[in-house]
Amino acid sequence: MNPIGVLLVDDDPNLLNGLRRLLSGYDQWKLMFASNGAEALDVMVANDVGVVVTDIAMPVMDGEQLILRMYEDHPNIMPIVLSGHWDERMSTLHLGPYIQFLPKPVPRDRLIEALKTATQYAALVAN
């Protein structure tokens, strides 16, 4: 079985590098990284992405705008919000009840569990 594409989006390069280290060794996922919303959309067009983990507070195109564009252009991609500037109630209000919300900093085990759940869903949708 091919690894599920997981795209991590954040404007903080240190955070992206930390996530890269944190998730290294999980070969059931094809990890991809983007530093902004526009770059993330380009990655989604060029690659098979099943899950997007995005920050909300980013310049130019924030995570909310990115997810709303995903709903239009890539409706089968499972979004996860990873942010210290957002809460689950606001996420549900603005983006719908099916968004997984993870606070920053996120415990490793909680991130792994959220990715397992989201990639299982993405695999079901792909099939």
Q: State residue 97's pLDDT score.
A: 56
Q: Domain count of the chain? A: 1
Give the pLDDT mean for 90-111.
76
105: containing domain:
4-126
Q: State residue 110's pLDDT score.
A: 93
The CATH number of residue 64's host domain is 3.40.50.2300
Give the alpha-carbon dihedral of 114, 120, 89, 104, to 10 degrees: 20
Give the pLDDT mean for 80-106.
72
State pTM to two decimals.
0.90
